[in-house]
Amino acid sequence: MNDSNPIETERASATPPRTTRRMRLRRQRTKDRASAVRALPTLLTLGNLMCGFAAIHYVAKPIEPTTIFGWNTLTVAGTLIFLGMFFDGIDGFAARLTRSASSFGAQLDSLADVVTFGVAPAFMMLRLVSHYYGPSNYTGILGPDADSIYVKLVWIIAAFYVCCTALRLARFNVEIGSPKEEDHRWFAGLPSPGAGGTVASLIILHQHMLFIDYKEAAPDSFERASSLVIPLVTLACGIGMVSRLRYAHLVNRYLKGRKDFAFAVRLVLPIACALVWFHPTMAAVFTIYALSGPIGALMHRRPVATPTLPS
């Protein structure tokens, strides 16, 4: 026997009251906001990729002043690489903060890094060499079809650097362990942002000295020496990326946790130098970091253990 009231049953099956509809709308809005927050790390990674693409765009142009603060094209390209480095640094933090870290994000991050810290710095180096070793009034980028053996070697170095960047990032994705910070205090091999930053900072310093210090009247020895040294630095950075040398994860190892007063002094000193001598300080910081791996290996003489790759 059913003792339910037919009138009450009809009311229950009627259209939900306003409060129920409001609760559903609030839940939907909460879901939409959560989806937007989870998309933030991906957008930051794509910002890194766009910086690399824009850097290549400016490198493809002849070395000349632009409408961006009056900087020349190579300086703008190098600055875009640094901006990409900023996006690359905060996208992982945003992923951990929003609890949206995933394998998809890691793979996308590596693809963006290949462009920003691999292809763009290599093209910057080729543009610099093409400017000084190309024919008169030459506006292109020299390649393997050039008449000069030196230019052919430089192109091979650039291609080698790009390949090393891709290998470095692929190896990192395979060997990466848990997402815990204590498992990411050291890198095996020079990180691609460190390699790209080293090449870009030296080229920016070169352009600053040429157009500001020498006012485009640099001696021939300066131009020739820079066209020789920077390709060698690019080659060394490529080798460093595929090496097993240990490099510190600067954020996880030095910038997190409680620090003493001496650490604050050591941190303020390079910042103060950068405010006064920005270009030399940036070049010095990246060069010192790139050299920290081989110097540490020589001082401590302890090789990095080669991890077992998953099948």
Separation CA 77–CA 270 (nearest Å): 23
- Which pTM was predicted? 0.80
Selected residue with higher pLDDT from 261 and 182: 261
Per the prediction, the chain carries an average pLDDT of: 80
Q: What is the pLDDT of residue 6?
A: 55
Split at pLDDT 50, 70, 90, the class of 272 is: confident
Could you read off the pLDDT of 95-147 as tens digits, one per residue? Answer: 777 777 778 888 899 999 999 999 999 999 999 988 877 777 677 788 888 88
Separation CA 295–CA 10 (nearest Å): 82
The average pLDDT across 153-176 equals: 92
Separation CA 30–CA 26 (nearest Å): 6
* Of 190, 188, 141, the residue nearest 161 (C-alpha): 190
Q: What is the pLDDT of residue 310?
A: 39
Split at pLDDT 50, 70, 90, the class of 18 is: low
Q: Which residues of 218-241 are buried (b: 16+ CB within 10 A; e: fewer)?
A: eeeeebeebbeebbebbbbbbbbb
Separation CA 137–CA 135 (nearest Å): 6
